[in-house]
């Protein structure tokens, strides 16, 4: 937004460049433990009236994240609120005047000086809705090992299949596997560590965004299998787990449990049958 850029140039000072190896050197660190239990089942009957396919899926994710405070404690980095909320009338008036200035820097300066004389406060904070000191924003601490843990797949696949010229055959087999972290794979760990956390110190609520669910888990198929997959994503479809404004206690006791009714899906036989997954998310956060 041009308005915010204009205000930023007038009210914000340049920050000192941090160390390239650790841009958040000196910031508070913490640990976020997350456990996600996923389950779902479904059966699909094929039009020929003979064949059918079913899946019973159970998956878990259990990861300990090393996280670091990324700053900007006036706005949440994880929020369900829309970024473009309506501005107060005084701010709408200021916005119109700034827009009217165009690229005229002297006009912009005069406009901001006139606004300052009204005693209406810091326009940058008001325009962006910032509340300094309210939020703790954390992301994966990539200066070291950002995550360690395990992803597990435990599926039971069954049905009746026809592979001409063979007659119809009933089947039932398992699809099990696990992925242990960390791995010596930059791309994989980069995906694992796409985690963001906001603590609302005013309300005691916590919001979480976790993308590690999209990771592929190596699997082994049990006796009787007729498919040949070697890995499956922990969650198909919606692969980002998001929780907003969850009651989580106060400083030093950030913990909670949440149920997610629609957490993606798990499929069998190239999508012939897919089971919607429900999730139970348990988390705890402690600041060092």
pLDDT greater than 70 at residue 177: yes
pLDDT in tens, 87-132: 566 667 777 877 888 777 778 777 777 877 765 555 555 555 667 8
Task: Taking residues 153-172, report their average pLDDT.
Answer: 93
Which one has a higher pLDDT value, 183 or 214? 183
Binned at pLDDT 50, 70 and 90, residue 5 comes out as very low
DSSP state at residue 117: H
Question: Do 147 and 102 sit in the same domain of this protein?
Answer: no
Question: Do 208 and 109 sit in the same domain of this protein?
Answer: no
Q: Which of 73, 94, 128 is the last residue of a domain?
A: 128
Q: What percent of the chain has pLDDT over 70?
A: 82
Task: Output phi, psi for 188, to 5 deg.
Answer: -65, -45
Residues 217 and 236 sit within 8 Å (Cβ to Cβ): no
pLDDT in tens, 241-255: 899 999 886 656 799
Say what the pLDDT of residue 88 is: 64
Q: Which of 128, 155, 186 is the last residue of a domain?
A: 128
Question: Do 90 and 149 sit in the same domain of this protein?
Answer: no
Give helix 105-117 / helix 89-101 axis angle, nearest 10°: 160
The pTM score is 0.76
Residue 194 domain flag: yes
Binned at pLDDT 50, 70 and 90, residue 237 comes out as confident
Residue span of the structural domain in which 107 resides: 86-128
Question: Do 158 and 254 sit in the same domain of this protein?
Answer: yes
pLDDT in tens, 188-227: 898 899 999 999 988 889 999 998 667 899 999 999 998 8
Residue 173 domain flag: yes
Question: Do 103 and 214 sit in the same domain of this protein?
Answer: no
Task: Taking residues 151-169, report their average pLDDT.
Answer: 93
- Please give the tally of structural domains in the chain: 2
Please state the length of the chain.
Answer: 288
CA dist 186 and 163 (Å) reads 41
pLDDT greater than 90 at residue 181: yes
Please state whether the peptide bond connecting residue 182 to the residue before it is cis, i.e. omega within 30 degrees of 0.
Answer: yes
Residue 214 domain flag: yes
CA dist 169 and 16 (Å) reads 69
Task: Taking residues 265-273, report their average pLDDT.
Answer: 91
Residue 20 domain flag: no
Question: Do 255 and 161 sit in the same domain of this protein?
Answer: yes
CA dist 108 and 3 (Å) reads 10
Closest C-alpha to 127, from 209, 244, 12, 207: 12
Which one has a higher pLDDT value, 247 or 13? 247
Distances (CA, A) of 42 to 16, 58, 123, 159, 160: 55, 12, 54, 11, 14
């Amino acid at each position: 937004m041009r308005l915010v850029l204009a205000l930023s140039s007038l009210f914000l000072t340049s920050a000192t460049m941090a160390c390239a190896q650790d841009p958040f050197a000196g910031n508070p660190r913490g640990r976020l433990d997350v456990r996600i239990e996923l389950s779902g089942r479904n059966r699909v009957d094929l039009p020929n009236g003979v064949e059918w396919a079913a899946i019973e899926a159970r998956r878990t994710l259990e990861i300990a994240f090393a996280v670091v405070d990324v700053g900007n404690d006036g706005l949440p980095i994880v929020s369900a609120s829309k970024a473009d909320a309506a501005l107060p009338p005084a701010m709408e008036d200021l916005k119109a005047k700034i827009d009217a200035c165009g690229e005229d820097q002297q006009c912009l300066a005069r406009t901001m000086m006139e606004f300052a004389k009204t005693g209406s406060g810091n326009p940058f904070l008001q325009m962006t809705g910032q509340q300094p000191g309210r939020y703790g924003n954390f992301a994966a601490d990539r200066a070291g090992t950002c995550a360690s843990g395990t992803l597990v797949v435990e599926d039971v696949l069954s049905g009746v299949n026809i592979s001409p010229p063979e007659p119809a055959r009933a089947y039932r087999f398992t699809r099990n596997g696990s992925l242990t972290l960390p791995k010596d794979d930059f791309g994989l760990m980069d995906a694992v560590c796409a985690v963001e956390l906001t603590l609302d110190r005013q309300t005691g609520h916590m919001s979480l965004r976790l993308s590690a669910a999209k990771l592929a888990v190596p699997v082994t198929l049990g006796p009787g299998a007729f498919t040949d997959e070697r890995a499956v994503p922990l969650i198909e479809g919606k692969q980002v787990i998001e929780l907003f404004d969850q009651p989580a206690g106060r400083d030093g006791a950030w913990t909670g449990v949440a149920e997610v009714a629609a957490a993606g899906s798990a499929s069998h036989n190239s999508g012939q049958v897919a089971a919607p997954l429900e999730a139970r998310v348990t988390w705890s956060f402690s600041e060092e």
